């Protein structure tokens, strides 16, 4: 009798997905007029602006998603997704941030300083969106990912969620 073969689980993030993520128009439309969200004025305004609800909104969604995903795919798979996303997008996102700063100026260095923190924020959002995709439960981070696909950075939330409004750059 031949040994039984177990199906190999799908990788948490595929090469095709990594390539598609790397090819997104990272921040290509940041700073231009926008419909469907409030527009931040600059990288530093987007990152450090008057958005007291932003941390609570993102934190609430990431904690709830982690709680949902852990029993479905496990912590190692979540970690692999995060690692794969970071490896796929760090350079193109950093290039997009650099283009934005170059096009919009940075007289006092605040834009470059904000860019360092923003890179991590974008990696986190995209990784959680890929977790939602992996567990087939689109939600908050998938909505954010739609903005990344449009060359924007969804950076904050104004007002109470969900009645408030997304802020994008």
Tell me the whole-structure pTM to 2 decimals: 0.92
74-to-68, 71, 78, 134 alpha-carbon distances in Å = 10, 6, 7, 11
pLDDT at 4: 42
CB 22 within 8 A of CB 89: yes
The mean pLDDT of 36-52, rounded to a whole number, is 93
- pLDDT tens track for 28-40: 999 999 999 999 9
CB 44 within 8 A of CB 111: yes
- The chain-wide mean pLDDT, for the chain, equals 92
CA–CA gap between residue 12 and residue 84 (Å, rounded): 8
Q: With b meaning 16 or more CB within 10 Å and e meaning fewer, what string describes 44-56?
A: bbbbebebeebee
- pLDDT tens track for 117-148: 999 999 999 999 999 999 999 999 999 999 99
pLDDT at 11: 66
């Amino acid at each position: 009798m031949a040994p039984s073969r177990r199906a190999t689980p799908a990788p948490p993030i595929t090469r095709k997905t990594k390539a598609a993520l790397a090819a997104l128009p990272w921040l290509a439309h940041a700073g231009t007029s926008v419909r469907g969200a409030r527009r931040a004025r600059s990288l530093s305004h987007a990152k450090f602006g008057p958005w007291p609800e932003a941390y609570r909104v993102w934190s609430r969604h990431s904690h709830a998603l982690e709680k949902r995903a852990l029993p479905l795919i496990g912590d190692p798979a979540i970690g692999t997704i995060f690692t794969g996303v970071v490896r796929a997008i760090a350079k193109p996102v950093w290039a997009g941030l650099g283009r934005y700063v170059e096009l919009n100026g940075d007289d006092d260095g605040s834009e470059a300083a904000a860019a360092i923190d923003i890179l991590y924020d974008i990696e986190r959002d995209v990784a959680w969106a890929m977790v939602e995709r992996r567990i087939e439960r689109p939600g908050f981070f998938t909505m954010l990912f739609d903005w990344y696909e449009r060359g924007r950075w969804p950076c904050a939330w104004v007002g109470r969620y969900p009645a408030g409004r997304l802020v994008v750059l």
